[in-house]
């Protein structure tokens, strides 16, 4: 895969499109079936957060390299309300909605790299990477 692909996320069907594209890219990068499921789960969770808390945003999928490692980079970006307390949002069981509050901490556990940039009133960007062996 060359470059990256951006999916606008506004509805449930967009989550499926992003998830399936992530699987396709992951497959091209020789990820295992287990990892492909993890990748799909992470994309679904981040896309769901966009819809729930920011109404709309983008999922960016790209292949990435570091030394001899190859991986998939998933970036979820929105111009929503932002997260006032990231530390709190990263605690298991913390949710301002009706969720289980396992989304963000779960995503962090499932991926190799995790970064969250957020500003109240400006938006949120969550970038994660999974390396393939
Ligand atoms: N994109 C986002 N924009 C604004 N707030 C968010 C976003 N994603 C997550 N949050 C906040 O972080 C909290 C924790 O997220 P998460 O762990 O996914 O749990 P849940 O989705 O079950 O509430 C959410 O309840 C919400 O307050
Ligand atoms: Mg969530």
CA 13 – ligand 1 centroid, Å? 20
Render the burial of 21-37: b for 16+ CB within 10 Å, e for the rest.
bbbebbeebebeeebbe
Mutational pocket test of ligand 1: of 46, 52, 109, 126, the residue with most ligand atoms within 8 Å of the beta carbon: 52
Ligand nearest to the CA of 54: 1
CA 12 – ligand 2 centroid, Å? 14
Q: What is the pLDDT of residues 29-65, one digit of tens each?
A: 999 999 999 999 999 999 999 999 999 999 999 999 9
Tokens 């006032």 map to which residue? Answer: 84
Tell me the two tokens of residue 75.
């970036």
| Residues β-bridged to residue 78 | 57, 124
**Cβ burial, residue 78 (10 Å; 0-12/13-18/19+):** buried
Q: Give mean pLDDT, residues 79-87.
A: 97
Asked whether the CA dihedral 76, 77, 82, 86 is positive or negative, the reply is positive
Mutational pocket test of ligand 1: of 57, 83, 86, 114, the residue with most ligand atoms within 8 Å of the beta carbon: 83
Residue 48 parent element (H or E) = helix 33-49
| pLDDT score for 98 | 81
**In the chain, what are the domain boundaries?**
4-132
Assign 133 a pLDDT band (cuts: 50, 70, 90). Answer: confident
Residue 15 parent element (H or E) = helix 12-28
Assign 2 a pLDDT band (cuts: 50, 70, 90). Answer: low
Cα-only R_g, the chain: 14
- Please state the pTM of the whole predicted model: 0.96
Alpha carbon distance 64, 41 (integer Å): 19
CATH class of the region 4-132: alpha beta
Tell me the two tokens of residue 28.
């091209």
């Amino acid at each position: 895969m060359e470059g990256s692909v951006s999916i606008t996320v506004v509805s449930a069907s967009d989550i499926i499109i992003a998830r399936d594209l992530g699987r396709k890219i992951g497959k091209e990068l020789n990820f295992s079936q287990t990892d492909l499921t993890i990748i799909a789960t992470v994309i679904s969770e981040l896309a769901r957060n966009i819809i729930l808390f920011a109404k709309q945003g983008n999922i960016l999928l790209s292949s990435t390299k570091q030394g001899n490692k190859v991986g998939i980079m998933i970036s979820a970006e929105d111009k929503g309300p932002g997260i006032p307390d990231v530390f709190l949002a990263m605690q298991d069981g913390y949710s301002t909605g009706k969720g289980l509050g396992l989304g963000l901490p779960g995503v962090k556990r499932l991926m190799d790299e995790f970064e969250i940039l957020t500003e109240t009133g400006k938006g949120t960007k969550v970038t994660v990477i999974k390396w393939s062996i």
